[in-house]
Structure 1
């Protein structure tokens, strides 16, 4: 993560906002789903889930590469657990992230050490986790659950 990362968000119309990441990165149109918006882009909850899943994926890859291991295809799926707070306001009360490796666990050396440490490298999930529980599951290319 960049130490000076920032975004600028500018309302376009309705609930559509242009997310500007800076000169080197294409902008993104965010929008709320109907009935508030038109659903023409990801909603804020999509972006939160994407940030958590992307950071965990990058951290897992980083940990594997420290041991010169290749996970093959790496697929992450993040799903929110929705609930209401004491004022009956809708909130994300948990995030479930499933990480799927493209390789069988047996072909990845030092996997036990990787699984024990990779989450600590993820700036986003470790920050979000201070307010929202995050459950991480790792599965290998054969479908075997390695971490739950």
Structure 2
């Protein structure tokens, strides 16, 4: 639960930025990732969830789950990704975090999704698998004489 930097993530991963865990919307998104967590874990693709909440609040939240999801409290990183926004509602300013998902590969943000739902998680899961097995697929294509129409 230390601060995170993309340079520290060497493997293909899913990075998820979410608003406070105190919000019902965030809990719904989190529960969706609990459904997907086993699929990501089976393919050895870690999930990093970044929240603006204090690490003690996060600990009391995630300690009930037995998953391979990494929970991180890092407001600075959320700001760095441009996910924090100010909204003006009836003259009052509110700071909100826009939920986002990213596939990370070789310390770079490869693909971004601004909506969190089953369809967008599936899309990023497939992208991560393509990146993970890219070299393997190239070797198969080059080692076997199969017409390109089949690929």
**Greater strand content:** 1
**Greater helix content:** 2
- Point out which structure has higher relative CO (alpha carbons under 8 A, 6+ apart): 2
